Amino acid sequence: MIEAQTLYSLVLESYLLLDSSDRDFFQQYGLSSTRYYILVHVAQNAGLSLSELSELLFCTKGNTTRIIKSMEADGYITREVDAHDNRLLCHYLTPAGTALLAEVSTAYNIFNQARFAGLSLSQRGTLQQNLQALNSHLREGLSQD
């Protein structure tokens, strides 16, 4: 029987290895993983509020605000008052943010293909199924808290 601690250690090691190589990759573009995923989420859901964005990033509102302000200063994000609720700020990509996301996303896709090239198609499929099942179970645990 495989112990839960062994599984956790393996998943954690994979996360740390992926995170470390992500940091190196995104640094080439002046980004962090969080800044990249802000671009991704805002591109997919233009007009996201700070609360929605923080929830998607698993990040505090304070930290998200700090990063958004930095990205706004860099010219990648704009914040606009919501037309229906003046208390709400909505986030949008600027043309520079859209261009950066397109460039980085293309390179990141190639980078990820190379990272998983050492696994056979069958191994990748099994890994995907197992991780989807694990993530689903973990999400259920979060929603119960």
Note the pLDDT of residue 54: 95
pLDDT surpasses 70 at 145: no
Task: Give residue-wise pLDDT tens across range 11-31.
Answer: 999 999 999 999 999 999 999
Higher-confidence position of 80 and 103: 103
Confidence bin at 85 (pLDDT 50/70/90): confident
The residues spanned by each domain of the chain are 4-144
Q: Dihedral, CA atoms, 111, 113, 115, 121, nearest 10 degrees?
A: 180
Task: Give residue-wise pLDDT tens across range 21-63.
Answer: 999 999 999 999 999 999 999 999 999 999 999 999 999 999 9
Listed in sequence order, the residues at least 6 apart from 44 whose beta carbon sits closer than 8 Å to its beta carbon are none
Instruction: Indicate the class that CATH gives domain 4-144.
Output: mainly alpha
